[in-house]
Chain A
Amino acid sequence: MLSTRHSILGSSVFQRVLAASGLFVLISLAALWVLTWIITHNIISNQDDRIAEMLAYGEELFYGDSEQALIDQIAFDDGPIWSSDEIYWILEEEHQIFTFRNADGDAVAGYPDLWAATEVERFILPHPDIEEEVRARSVQLRGGGTITVGEFIPQRYYEAVNLAAFGTLAMIVIVLPLALITGFFLSRGVFNRIEGVSETAAAVARGEMTSRAPVTGRLDEFDRLSLGINQMLDRVDTLNSNIEAVSVGVAHDLKTPLANLGGRLELIRRDLQDSTAVSAHVEAAENHLSQVLRIFDAILRLGEVEAGGRRAAFVDVDLSQLVRDLGEAYAPVFEDADKTMSVDIASGVHLRGDPELLQQLLANLLENALEHSRDAAKVHLRLVRSDTISLHVADDGPGIAPPDRDRIFDRFFRADSSRTSPGNGLGLSLVRAIADLHGAQATLDPEAEGAHFSVIFQQGD
């Protein structure tokens, strides 16, 4: 479990959640501080504006009216010089603090402890009890006196700054750990689901081909992934068993002619002196070899058809003509085998396809009927056109044993009864592959008494 936990922390989902949370916190903090700066800056500049306004008013009184008018404006009821008690009231009411000094620097009116330069300064007001910051500025008057105006920095300012500081702390202390926890559980959820798929993949890689990815039934994206992978594995499995069947089939079917070929070579060595015997052996060997090549040809053609590349070469095919020609070509062959072939062909049936392959399809069906039907069988070749186009090759016995019916189109499958006859078990596979290429279905009618093969083309004209 420790290792799992370790890998969760290292997992991509976790790292992404963490990175996203980090980024979110950073952006939030930046926004908070920008906002705070705007608010405080606004407070300060309003304050400075008010200070400037008051200074101008003071100057106006001093120059426009008289020194006494200025002093009267500043003075409270108890005299021009403010006591430190009066500052409490100023603080509470958020009023300005004034000081008017003469050329000697002695306070004539206002609060005597307020000193400031001609630029705005921020400092703690000298006062026995109050320890609040003020912003203050002075103007020099003609004749040597000064007016100083100050204002306490308002509570709003500190509140804004404190709020920003608290926000920052909260983000770091609360949001980040929360993101960590969410990230962990989120990743664990994803991780466990993915891990199921990974374990399946690893199991398959180890050779446990039956292993399948877990499906929870929620049908979410993970289930879809699992289902997709399982389908893929099923397909791989089928292909694998096909390949296995093919390999076994190839090995089995090639073994006999190759062994015979080897046998003939041995006989040639033995009969070297007897040229008649040697040429007989050579001819037999050539037959065995051509049997091998025929199997390879069938496999290659099957591969070519299944790859689907030939679809590009589809042309308009007069299927009626094609079937009629093949029927004509094979009729005497059936006759010579003491079997009869009846033909029933709808005329004017066209479809898009590969004429060579369609010829091969029908030839394979006819040869299949020729080889595997009973003695003196009646074979019926039909081309029917209704909603679909269907091609039928049916004989009247003995038919195919029920257990073999499903496998009759499989590669290298040969019913036990046909083991002794020539053939390689690829003819009907090729029929099905060619039918598939043409979007048609090759089927065996399970109800029919004999073997009744149908190829049903869905396409019309």
Chain B
Amino acid sequence: MLKLMKRYDGKPGSMMKILIVEDDTETADYLTRGLREAGWEVTWHSAPQEAMLTLAARSFDAIILDRMLPGMDGVDALRLMRGAQITTPVLMLTARSGIEDRVEGLEAGADDYLVKPFALSELIARLKSLARRPPIAVEATNLRLGDLHLDRIARQATRGADRLDLSPLEYRLLEYLIQHPGQVVTRSMLLEKVWGYRFDPKTSLVQTHMSRLRAKVDKPYGQEMIRTVRGAGYVIDAP
């Protein structure tokens, strides 16, 4: 699985720099090892105060911040960072799945939120999505990937010369995928970002819609753009 992650890392020369702020040694160890195997540079601090010092001296692509830290709440630490003009994307980890927790974290400036326990592949996918988030792309009215084109004003997708007949939901799925080319997008990321659902459906809700989307986007053209990454999620690439 990790090998696959590497394969989709896109630019091989760019080494992602991640700062982990986590007091539980076992979790920190697991994260550090997993992220290093994915080819990333990892710095770990158990206390938020030390992390702040490091952040003042070096820059990172993303920060993994535990919600419960000794001596300081993760949310408070995050407010301090944002107050100190540190704009590095932050992914917050929590053991609790309470909705207020999440809202509090996001309001304090967290960019994403993950409830323990989680799969490493999920974390890596979300970190990539955070670290690579293009600052202005959100404004773009046209998205292109290979011969796939999305007109975001008309909400119309075309591949080559063909207009694709997508349902609004399928359009939104494709729009999200195409904003993250070459990155693994997990099922729960899609549920959260496309549907806005925070629950875990027992049924193959995402798979069903993805297979319909793929039938329209890929099947007639013989060249696959959307691929399934087993056990992780989906990835879209230029053919």
A positions within 8 Å CB-CB of B: 283, 286, 293-294, 297, 300-301, 304, 309-310, 312-313, 325, 328-330, 332-333, 336, 354, 356, 359-360, 363, 367, 370-371, 422-423, 427
Does the CB pair B201–A367 fall under 8 Å?
yes
Interface residue? B117 (CB, 8 A): yes
- Checking B98, B99, B197, B204 against A333 with a beta-carbon cut-off of 8 angstroms, the contacting residue is B204
Contact indicator A333/B203 (Cβ below 8 Å): yes
**B169 is contacted by which of A328, A354, A427 (Cβ under 8 Å)?**
A328
Pairwise interchain contact A283-B99, C-beta atoms closer than 8 A: no
Given the known A-B contacts A325-B195, A359-B199, are A354 and B99 also in contact in the complex, defined by CB atoms under 8 Å? yes
| Nearest CB of chain B from residue A414's CB, rounded to whole Å | 14
- B202 with A313: CB separation less than 8 A: no
Chain A facing B: main interface SS? helix
Chain A residues with CB under 8 Å of B199's CB are 356, 359-360, 363
Report if A367-B203 is in contact (Cβ < 8 Å); known contacts: A283-B231, A325-B195, A336-B208.
yes
A309 x B100 contact (CB < 8 A) = yes
Q: Nearest 3 pairs between A and B by C-beta?
A: A360-B199, A332-B208, A333-B208
Taken together as a complex, chains A and B put the C-alpha atoms of A360 and B197 apart, in Å, by 8
Q: Does A300 lie within 8 Å of B231, measured CB to CB?
A: no
Within 8 A of A (CB), among B158-177: 167, 169
Q: Tell me the complex Cα distance, A189–B37, Å.
A: 79
Question: How near does chain A come to B122, taking the closest CB pair, in angstroms?
Answer: 11
Whole-angstrom CA separation of A329 from B212 in the bound complex: 12
Q: Which residues on A sit within 8 Å (CB–CB) of B119?
A: 286
Q: Is B97 an interface residue (CB 8 A)?
A: yes
**Whole-angstrom distance between the alpha carbons of A293 and B98 in the complex?**
16
Which residues from A are CB-within-8-Å of B36? none
Question: Contacts A297-B97, A329-B169, A329-B195 known; A286 to B201 CB distance under 8 Å?
Answer: no
Question: Are A330 and B205 CB-contacts (below 8 A) given A294-B200, A356-B198, A360-B199?
Answer: yes
Which of A286, A300, A332, A354 touches B97 (beta carbons < 8 Å)? A300
Most A-side CB within 10 Å, residue of B195, B197, B199, B209: B199
Please tell me if B103 contacts chain A, counting CB pairs below 8 Å: yes
Which residues of B sit under 8 angstroms from A333, Cβ to Cβ? 203-205, 208
What distance in Å separates the Cβ of A354 from its nearest Cβ neighbour in chain B? 7
Q: How far is the CA of A309 from the CA of B201 in the complex (A)?
A: 24
Assess the B169–A367 pair: CB atoms within 8 A. no
Q: Give the distance to chain A from B106, nearest Cβ to Cβ, in Å.
A: 13
**Cα–Cα distance between A286 and B195 once the two chains are bound (Å):** 26
A423: chain B residues within 8 A (beta carbon)? 202
Residues A367 and B208 in contact, CB atoms below 8 Å apart: no
23 examples of A-B residue contacts, CB within 8 angstroms: A297-B97, A300-B97, A309-B98, A312-B100, A313-B100, A328-B167, A329-B195, A332-B209, A333-B203, A333-B204, A333-B205, A336-B204, A356-B197, A359-B199, A360-B199, A363-B197, A363-B201, A367-B201, A367-B202, A367-B203, A371-B202, A423-B202, A427-B202
Residues of chain B within 8 A (CB-CB) of A304 are 97-98
Cα separation A309 to B231 with both chains bound (whole Å): 35
Contacts of A356 in B (CB 8 A): 99, 197-199
Residues of B within 8 A of A325 (CB): 195
A155→B8 CA distance, assembly (Å): 123
Task: Give the CA-CA distance A300 to B209 in the complex, in Å.
Answer: 29
* A427 to B205 alpha-carbon distance, docked (Å): 16
Q: Is the beta-carbon distance between B99 and A297 smaller than 8 angstroms? A: no
Chain B residues in 8 Å Cβ range of A363: 197, 199, 201
Q: In the complex, what residue of chain A is closest to B231 when comparing beta carbons?
A: A283
Minimal Cβ-Cβ distance residue in B for A337: B203
When the two chains form their complex, are residues B205 and A310 in contact, meaning their CB atoms are under 8 A apart? no
**How distant is A330 from chain B, measured CB to nearest CB, in Å?**
7
CA distance A336 to B204 in the complex (A): 10
Partner of A329, one of B99, B100, B103, B205: B205
Contacts of B209 in A (CB 8 A): 329, 332
| B197 partner residues in chain A, CB cutoff 8 A | 329, 356, 359, 363
Docked Cα-Cα span, A367 to B203, in Å, equals 7
